[in-house]
Structure 1
Amino acid sequence: MRRSVLALLLLLVSLTACAPGAPPDAGDPLSRQEQQLLARAEQTLIARCLTGQGFRYEVRVPQPPPRRFPYVGDDVGWARAHGFGRDEERRLAAAKAADPNERWFRSLPPARKRAALAALNGPRPVGLRARMPGGGTVAASDEGCTARAQRHLYGDLPAWFEARLTAANLTPLYVPRVRADPAYRKAVRAWSACMKRRGHAYPTPEALRAALPGTGAAVGERELAVAEAECAADSGLAATAKELDARYAAAARRAHAAPLATKTRLERAALPRAREVLTNRP
């Protein structure tokens, strides 16, 4: 399945800027501002590379992703304002549709689209390979504008590829463990009882979301989201999930301390190069 140039760039930014923090022995993780600096520099390098090959690309500030609740909605104020976040999803979809890079890419004939993707990602996913924390491997090209930009910033491209993918894929390791913990299951039962007293019969927060309509917004959806969040507090599910998430996430980071330390080290070394890239604009 082909992806657009912008979608691929946003994926790169999310892997760089939204990965879990490193454990204490890996050094202090970067601040949000430093992460954004690296993301802007990488996009700038990619844009220079693509435009140098005759493609059009404008460096854009990525839209913040919708807020996610991996266990249960627990922010009453946010639920009152956004329900289950469908408005945030529509905002992102509208921004993507209006983005000039998206419009340009969609206007290209098929052969030109293939050429643009090859220029961005390399001709074939060969040259970079990383084993994922949960099993399996991911391969990518060590050619193309993406690889060129990351090599410029981080130097050791294979090490960076493995480190950032490890950091970005720790969540699937520990979220199922949180949900399987007896304390979490007990809190979910209390949450379900709270919801039932309010007239909403759902055994789990996952079942609640699975029952939502696929599109649009259900009548009373914000009220239901508020009930979910209030019951998360009243039942103790929010506090239990937070405590267990911190515990299991820390264990996952300890188990993968070496690549996380590599990620932090390469990022810190890249900061001066990123500032130079953004200062010396052509």
Structure 2
Amino acid sequence: MRRFAVPSLLLLAMLAACGPGDPGAPAARAEPDAALPREATTDELATLRRAEEILERRCMARAGFDLPAAPEPVRAGPEPPPMGLVLADLGWAREHGYGARVRTPEETARLRANDPVGDHLRALTPERRAEALRAWQGGGVDTIEVTLPGGMTTGRSTRGCTSEARGELYGDFRTWFGADAVDRGATALAMNRAQADPDFTKALRGWSDCVAGRGLPHESPQRLRAALGDSAPEAKEIEYAVAEAACAVGSDLAEVVTDVEERHLAQVREQYLADVINARRMRLAALPEADRIVRDEDPSRLNTHKEGTR
């Protein structure tokens, strides 16, 4: 089964996910009719996140805090299939379950025990820990705010190592933060609209009847996954994943989901096209620099992203 080791649990709690972009000059605003670049692959995104963590740690060292390295992510096996509204790849489900989305209880325990960054921060005095968090997150100074496609507002300080690391990769943190937040928000809004689409809700009834017949009475794939949780024995995970995928294929949900997701993603992304294009361009443009940063940290490490995918 494909598994991922993750960075410090405390680090994940404190840091919002923001990917890097162009390490050079800020990207120009995209025209509405510009071609949509491809999305970064799972492996490419993992390389970007690793580079962010390395740059954050270097920044913290300059601020006087020598944080240990987070555990190296371990990646194996093929990329997972799309799992937006439903997992429909039965072969994947039988072999991998939900992949990195779910860990066994033993893996969860090992991850909690292997938390060098969190251990380091907890060992500091309260005053020193507060100083470290200000250096990391900027202390709320010079905050920029972005309105997301769903209407909510998100913000982040332009100070601190979290922002500095992304600015170093991207070239202009403010532009990156806005484009990345809107791009992620556009996807979330499209998925929310797809879930409310009458075609989806109609097809969902057949899927729900199917999983109930397998002893899993849940109204949607999201509720099925929520019932499983993010830590479960491998056999139970595969049981849930196979039920989700088999019922998606056995009903017409898999076919309906493909149409519904594509339609709503296209509509929302068209509305926010400039930011979507900028965010994708920045991720792809950052990959060579991210690879260099990761290799410099460990010269024996091979590139983590695959050329020519998608």
1:182 corresponds to: 198
Shift, 1:212, TM fit = 5.3
Amino acid corresponding to residue 57 of structure 2 in structure 1:
A
Written as runs of structure 1 = structure 2, the 5 A alignment for 1:197-276 is 197-198=213-214, 200-209=216-225, 222-268=238-284, 270-271=286-287, 273-274=289-290
Shift, 1:190, TM fit = 1.6
Fraction of identical pairs, as percent? 34
Change (3 A) 1:166 1:88: farther
Question: Given the two structures, how large is their TM-score scaled by the length of structure 1?
Answer: 0.76
SS of equivalent residue, structure 2 residue 149 = coil
SS of equivalent residue, structure 2 residue 155 = strand
Could you give the per-residue CA deviations for residues 116-141 of structure 1, whole angstroms, max 9, x where no partner exists? 11111112153322111111221211
Change (3 A) 1:210 1:148: closer
Amino acid corresponding to residue 113 of structure 1 in structure 2:
R
Alignment gaps of 5+ in structure 2: 1-8, 21-29, 298-310
2:10 corresponds to: 4
Separation in 2, partners of 1:170, 1:183: 21
Shift, 1:280, TM fit = 6.4
SS of equivalent residue, structure 1 residue 87 = coil
- What CA RMSD, in Å, does the superposition of the two structures yield over aligned residues? 3.7
Separation in 1, partners of 2:276, 2:35: 10
Deviates more, 1:96-105 or 1:67-76: 67-76
Written as runs of structure 1 = structure 2, the 5 A alignment for 1:89-168 is 91=107, 94-168=110-184
2:85 corresponds to: 71
Q: 2:19 aligned to 16, 20, 24, which one?
A: 16
1:52 corresponds to: 62
Relative contact order (alpha carbons < 8 A, sep ≥ 6): 1 or 2 greater?
Answer: 2
Deviates more, 1:114-123 or 1:267-276: 267-276
Q: Which has the higher helix share?
A: 1
Separation in 2, partners of 1:268, 1:214: 30
SS of equivalent residue, structure 1 residue 133 = coil
Paired residues of 1:154 and 1:160 also in contact (CA < 8 A): yes
SS of equivalent residue, structure 1 residue 119 = helix
Separation in 1, partners of 2:183, 2:255: 25
1:25 corresponds to: 35
SS of equivalent residue, structure 1 residue 129 = strand
Q: 2:50 aligned to 30, 40, 47, which one?
A: 40
SS of equivalent residue, structure 1 residue 140 = strand
Amino acid corresponding to residue 10 of structure 2 in structure 1:
S
Separation in 1, partners of 2:293, 2:230: 43
Could you give the per-residue CA deviations for residues 198-241 of structure 1, whole angstroms, max 9, x where no partner exists? 45544433454555589766996744543332111110212211
Amino acid corresponding to residue 4 of structure 1 in structure 2:
L
Change (3 A) 1:162 1:121: same
Separation in 1, partners of 2:217, 2:292: 57
Deviates more, 1:106-115 or 1:72-81: 72-81
Change (3 A) 1:211 1:38: closer
Separation in 1, partners of 2:104, 2:141: 33
Size of the aligned set, in residue pairs, is 271
Paired residues of 2:211 and 2:218 also in contact (CA < 8 A): yes
Separation in 2, partners of 1:270, 1:224: 37
Could you give the per-residue CA deviations for residues 86-138 of structure 1, whole angstroms, max 9, x where no partner exists? 43576356325303212212322322221111111112153322111111221
SS of equivalent residue, structure 1 residue 138 = strand
Paired residues of 2:39 and 2:280 also in contact (CA < 8 A): yes
Separation in 2, partners of 1:217, 1:279: 35
Separation in 2, partners of 1:199, 1:152: 51
SS of equivalent residue, structure 1 residue 56 = coil
SS of equivalent residue, structure 1 residue 175 = helix
Separation in 2, partners of 1:89, 1:250: 39
Amino acid corresponding to residue 245 of structure 1 in structure 2:
E
Could you give the per-residue CA deviations for residues 150-195 of structure 1, whole angstroms, max 9, x where no partner exists? 2222222211110111122223211222222222122112223333
2:305 corresponds to: none
2:302 corresponds to: none
Deviates more, 1:39-48 or 1:109-118: 39-48
Amino acid corresponding to residue 208 of structure 2 in structure 1:
S
Shift, 1:279, TM fit = 6.7
